Amino acid sequence: MQHTTYHGGCLCGWIRFAALGPADNPHTCECRFCQQHTGALSAPWVEFPRERVTWTGEGGMPATFRSSDYSSRAFCPRCGSSIGAIDDAPTVALLLGGFDQR
Ligand SMILES: [Zn+2]
Ligand SMILES: [Zn+2]
């Protein structure tokens, strides 16, 4: 988990990310936002400082939906895959299911 670069993205490949480790705060969340955002009862997350996440796909940054007063949910505008959450605090949380290596 040291300085690995993690890659991943959405179902259609339009949104891709490269995140430089270490990954912070691995956790699952069962709040109502995460359930509705992902369609799953429990969502597995890891977090990175914003400057360590690069959006490498053709689509650039994911589309966002303002879900609370401190965070926006990120998703692919083409295939609808949930990607993560982009907080106002300089943190990007990524859903583990989209990572190439899990
Ligand atoms: Zn997509
Ligand atoms: Zn949650």
Residues lying with their CB under 5 A of ligand 2, a single-atom ion = 29, 31, 34
Q: Give buried/exposed letters for 79-96 (b at 16+ CB in 10 A, else e).
A: eebbbbbbeeeebbbbbb
**Structural domain that includes position 61:** 5-98
More confident residue, 102 or 92: 92
Question: Which pLDDT does position 101 carry in this prediction?
Answer: 87
> Which ligand is closest to the CA of 45, given by its number?
2
Whether the pTM exceeds 0.75: the reply is yes
> Which ligand is closest to the CA of 33, given by its number?
2
Name the domain count of the chain.
Answer: 1
Q: What is the CATH number of the domain that holds 81?
A: 3.90.1590.10
Asked if pLDDT for residue 2 goes beyond 60, the answer is no
Residue 45 alpha carbon to ligand 2 centre in Å? 9
Report the alpha-carbon distance of residue 23 to residue 60 in Å, rounded: 21
Asked if pLDDT for residue 35 goes beyond 70, the answer is yes
pLDDT above 70 covers a percentage of the chain that reads 98
